[in-house]
Amino acid sequence: MKAVLWGFLGVRKESGLKEDVASLSFVHIIIAGVLGALIFMSILIVIVKLVVSH
């Protein structure tokens, strides 16, 4: 999950990227990316609902 969060931010050293590629499977990255996107969208929806309701 940590590698995907760094990917969302776009800040990652090349050495860290190489470590992630060596230790993670493609399926894990996809699952973590989808979960991260769902959590991010849920947070945005909650914020919008709070702003609109006031």
DSSP codes joined into one string, 1-54: -HHHHHHHHT---HHHHHHHHHH--HHHHHHHHHHHHHHHHHHHHHHHHHHHH-
- On the question of pLDDT at 41 being above 90, the answer is yes
Mean pLDDT for all residues in the chain = 81
The pTM of this model reads 0.63
Please give the pLDDT value at position 29: 79
Residue 50 has pLDDT above 70, yes or no: yes
Any idea where the domains of the chain sit in the sequence?
Answer: 2-53
- When pLDDT is cut at 50, 70 and 90, the band that residue 17 belongs to is low
